[in-house]
Structure 1
Amino acid sequence: MGLDYYKTLEVNRNATDDDLKKAYRKLAMRWHPDKNPDNKKDAEAKFKQISEAYDVLSDPQKRAIYDQYGEEGLKGQVPPPGAGPSEFFAGAGAGGTRFKFNPRSADEIFSEFFGGSSPFAGGGGGKFADVFASFGGGRRGEASASAIRKAPAIEKTLVCSLEDLYKGATKKMKISRDVIDSSGKPTTVEEILTIDIKPGWKKGTKITFPQKGNVQRNMIPSDLIFIIDERPHGVFKREGNDLIVTQKLSLIEALTGYTVQLTTLDGRNLTIPVNSVISPTHEEVVQGEGMPITKESPKRGNLRIRFQIKFPPRLTPEQKSGIKRLLAPT
């Protein structure tokens, strides 16, 4: 009776490629001979069974033959699916084809996942002792360069309007990245990532998508990081959690009273009367009409209104006399 590869990897018969990889990683780390020095012979046998099971089930052609004919059929050169017996068993001289089972070595498969060369080198734990250390079960306190490494993060700028950062928004980002398919060949896939912009996010905020970078052999894929940038607005300027707006008005309005009319970033109309004398340094503060404060919702910053007063370029003698008379202390 041959091995049941699915039971060996502890997966069901509908296991996906990701399921197989997760199962192999877990079991290979558990049963590697260097991890089991007191039971090395049995561990080595189990380790080789795990590697053989993964080798077969991760290869679509081998898996199809195994599912139909079992391990004995796979190794005994039975016809592959879709091939007639005469075609399969015909000799090479007759122009026929044969499927030949050539299992990869356990060392090769383990190296593909965890980096380095033969895990059996050195006798005393070999080059992979540090790999085990990095997984929390090794004989050393820290991993060496032979342990699997993570590729450097990829950073991309995500430009948002001030309205997006005020109200919140959802952005769809299309990315392309290199991966390795189930047969071990490099290929390019496209994916749509969804980014939920939270009200009040600031320039420099980072959104991380773990391991969404290119897939490379013997390396953990890099993280993809989007960094928020803010597009300049035509009316408002942001300072921390406050919004700044500048209003232009005449000297007469500055002296006699002025009403500010504004449309907010979420489309509301604000009417703000200013009845005091407006000096060039005056700032009118409207509480709670600034940017949302993300971690203190529903709290908001303030709206700060600054003024640019237009002075007349010249005055007639009569205007000067009139102003002196009106503004003279009583």
Structure 2
Amino acid sequence: MGRDYYDVLALTQSARHDDVQRSYRTLSLKYHPDKNQSRDAVEKFRDISEAYDVLSDSKKRAVYDQFGEEGLKNGVPTAEPGGFTGVYTFHGDPQRTFKEFFGSENPFNELFTDGDSVMSSGAGAKFGGIMGRARPKQDPPVEKELWLSLDEVYSGCTKKLKISRRVLNDDGHTSSVKNKILSITVKPGWEEGTRILFPKEGDQEPNNIPADIVFVVKDKPHPHFKRTGCDLHYTAQVTLVQALTGCIIEIGTLDDRVISIPINEIVRPGFQKVVIGEGMPNAKNAEMRGNLVLHFDIVFPATLTPQQKQTIKQVLG
């Protein structure tokens, strides 16, 4: 599965671009070799730099979110016939990343920290850019939510999405609003938070690079299932008699099968039944699949007759 760059930067997959910058700023100052020369700190500083190098770049991050470190570093096929993404290799110089972010050969001459906050005497250091040369800038990625049902994620599908954006007219100065259809091929097993990148599909402006558009996967509520990672969770209602004596639970799966699950154990509060391999596909490893986890809601009788109470005492007492 490879390394978890989000964990390295103490982030979740839903982190925004500003969150990535903020986390790198704090952690890189904390573990910089000029302040902490232990072996663990040096290795941590390098890991932080590589994680930032990937997650701060919308193109690298989109590949990583969908295919993991292995796909990022080995390359994956693209939608174009014979196309293949480039192979990513970290340049190996965490000091270079640090200098490019803070815009200084020695940011500690200009920066001092107060807890997790960072104070700066120059705007270039604050925003991680090198001041000076005027060049077209690109706005931060525009994030949009892509709501998918568990059925769509289980089997995969194609989504057609219409966006409206400003496009420069032929004079290069004025613009008009035009619609465009973007196509997303949903891969089976995509987790919530997966990011799909469309480079430079944002508004066009003079002397400005259009922003990338990033769709972030969100789960639509399902009437029966919830998922955690690749596992599916299902709550079955059983009577008290079934809970004590056993039963068979029939469940309609997301691919339109019906599976019968025998419950031979006593269903007590907190009891779970795990069915191996009946969860969601793993988007990063086609040979793996999550599990189906059954939870139980025991329905107790509203009333009991004196004779029923006596019988239960005789049986269970």
Alignment TM-score > 0.5, same fold: yes
- 1:153 offset after TM fit, Å? 1.8
Question: Would you say 1:309 and 2:290 are equivalent positions?
Answer: no
1:211 aligns to what? 200
Corresponding residue SS for 1:296: coil
Question: Would you say 1:267 and 2:251 are equivalent positions?
Answer: no
Cα offsets for 1:96-139 (capped at 9, x unmatched): xxxxxxxxxxxxxxxxxxxxxxxxxxxxxxxxxxxxxxxxxxxx
1:253 aligns to what? 242
1:112-123 to 2 correspondences below 5 Å: none
Rounded to whole Å, the distance in 1 between the matches of 2:183 and 2:271 is 44
Residue number among 160, 166, 178 corresponding to 1:172 in the alignment = 160
1:300 aligns to what? 289
1:146-161 to 2 correspondences below 5 Å: 146-161=134-149
1:9-28 to 2 correspondences below 5 Å: none
1:235 aligns to what? 224
Rounded to whole Å, the distance in 1 between the matches of 2:217 and 2:195 is 6
Residue number among 279, 285, 289 corresponding to 2:274 in the alignment = 285
Q: Which amino acid aligns with 1:212?
A: E
Cα offsets for 1:272-328 (capped at 9, x unmatched): 111222212211110000111111113111001111111123322211221122224
Rounded to whole Å, the distance in 2 between the matches of 1:142 and 1:323 is 79
Rounded to whole Å, the distance in 2 between the matches of 1:227 and 1:145 is 33
1:17-166 to 2 correspondences below 5 Å: 144=132, 146-166=134-154
- 1:143 offset after TM fit, Å? 6.1
Rounded to whole Å, the distance in 2 between the matches of 1:157 and 1:186 is 26
Rounded to whole Å, the distance in 1 between the matches of 2:236 and 2:130 is 62
Cα offsets for 1:32-60 (capped at 9, x unmatched): xxxxxxxxxxxxxxxxxxxxxxxxxxxxx
Rounded to whole Å, the distance in 1 between the matches of 2:259 and 2:145 is 33
Greater length-normalized contact order (CA 8 Å, ≥ 6 residues apart):
2
TM-score (norm 1): 0.54
1:186-197 to 2 correspondences below 5 Å: 186-197=175-186
Rounded to whole Å, the distance in 2 between the matches of 1:324 and 1:179 is 79
1:85 aligns to what? none
Rounded to whole Å, the distance in 2 between the matches of 1:271 and 1:263 is 9
Cα offsets for 1:14-36 (capped at 9, x unmatched): xxxxxxxxxxxxxxxxxxxxxxx
Unaligned runs of 5+ in 1: 1-140
Rounded to whole Å, the distance in 2 between the matches of 1:152 and 1:296 is 31
Q: Which amino acid aligns with 2:170?
A: S
- 1:145 offset after TM fit, Å? 5.2
Rounded to whole Å, the distance in 2 between the matches of 1:301 and 1:268 is 17
Q: Identity over aligned residues, as a percent? A: 44
Could you list the runs of 4 or more consecutive aligned residues of structure 1 that deviate by over 6 angstroms after TM superposition?
Answer: none
Rounded to whole Å, the distance in 2 between the matches of 1:277 and 1:157 is 43
2:59 aligns to what? none
Larger Rg: 1
Rounded to whole Å, the distance in 1 between the matches of 2:304 and 2:314 is 14
Q: Which amino acid aligns with 1:211?
A: K
Corresponding residue SS for 1:320: helix
Rounded to whole Å, the distance in 2 between the matches of 1:200 and 1:238 is 11
Corresponding residue SS for 1:166: helix
TM-score (norm 2): 0.56
RMSD: 1.7
